[in-house]
Amino acid sequence: MTWQLVLLLAAGAYSFKVLGLIVLGGRHVPPRLDRCLALVPAALLTALVVKDTFSLGTELVVDARAAGVGVAALAAWRRAPLAVVIALGAIVTASVRQLAGAV
């Protein structure tokens, strides 16, 4: 990736944000659309986690990462602190890799 591409993508992202401010201005979006837009970041983050958990290059795989994400999701569902969720996910992933012999 070149610096020109990075700068172009940054300018494009900034332009989209400014365009939203210009188009919407002081107007409010309908409540239904506002509720939907509030869910977009969580859906995007979930999609990225699932993609990175179950893919290796262009192949679909189920390995130690799936166990770690599963335990982390369970801990998050039980409202564990973020540090505990991350630590549990890492510990389970490392343990499964160690037990499977794939270090």
What's the pLDDT tens digit per position in 38-67? 999 999 999 999 999 999 888 899 999 999
Q: State the Cα–Cα distance between residues 55 and 58, nearest whole angstrom.
A: 7
Q: What is the pTM of this model?
A: 0.65
Give the pLDDT score at 27. Answer: 79
Residue 102's pLDDT is 53
pLDDT tens, residue by residue, 1-39:
689 999 999 999 999 888 877 877 777 888 898 899 899
For residue 49, CA distances in Å to 66, 68, 79 come to 10, 12, 19
Radius of gyration (C-alpha) of the chain in whole angstroms:
19
